[in-house]
Amino acid sequence: MSFIIEKEELLPLLNSRDIRICDCRFQLGSPDAGYNDYKKDHISGAVYFDLEKELSGQVQEHGGRHPLPDLETIKDKLESNGITNDTVLIAYDGGEGSFASRFVWLLSYLGHQKVFVLNGGYRAWRDAGYPIDSIQMNYMPTEYRIDLNEHVFASFRKVKDYTLNRPDDIVLMDSRESKRYEGIEEPIDKKAGHIPGAVNKVWTNVLENGYFKKKEDLQSNFTSIGKDKEIIVYCGSGVTASPNYIALKEAGFKDVKIYIGSFSDWISYDDNPIE
């Protein structure tokens, strides 16, 4: 199943009761900017999901800069916006692809079956002249059942075991830009480098002008990786790993997980080695 929907596909579905559009716009370092943008204008009928308040939990000693959210918090958010397990969810961000992809991965982890990222994001929708407004909708509360899909989640313990044993059937993939992977530059985290054994596949390479590349181009991006492998993707804090997760699935890889704590979690343990 594809995780990507085109704006032309969404347009005729805009007034359907069976879908919910989820605005995930966000700016790292300016946490109120996304919600302020949403209040100004958004795709008609959309509800807002905040990266740091709802799509992530409280930062603690371990878990990284954007740890998993409290399950009751995200459950309440879904229910209060009229979302059930059968609702078709369509997420968008400003066109970066990373914040909407984080939503898609998270809902997949919660066990949601029908969740998509809007290709091109809000910028593409707005530039096409499609319906936008500033109305904040109130939906009838519902009940939502979380059924965790552990097949898309890689724990710290699993990543640690990989670094110790280096099994041939697992690929650890670092999604950050090459200078961070190589340890040449580190603008955010307190240590530089990468988790031992990781290969580097920069997340921006799967996107072009805010759109995910076509399937054959995504497949070409990952030609060095066998499709029979289990792939564990990480980045700095579990956000920009998400476009690689979606791109791998679109390219036909079956067993793909995200290490949600990512590098910022890895380095929170003083004895963990770094390459």
Out of 115, 152, 235, 241, the active site residue is 235
Say which DSSP state 152 is in. G
Q: Is 62 left (phi over 0), alpha (psi -120 to 50) or beta?
A: beta
Residue 218: DSSP 8-state: H
Selection from 73, 241, 72 nearest residue 159 by Cα: 241
Residue 78's nearest CA partner among 34, 51, 48, 101 is 48
Residue with tokens 């054959």: 216
Beta-carbon neighbour count of residue 82 at 10 Å? 17
DSSP H helical segments within 19-86, as ranges?
33-40, 71-80
Neighbours of 135 (CB within 10 A): 11
* Other residues' Cβ atoms within 10 Å of the Cβ of residue 49: 28
Please give the Cα distance from 90 to 87 (Å, whole number). 10
Active site (annotated) includes residue 235 = yes
| Residues with active-site annotation | 235
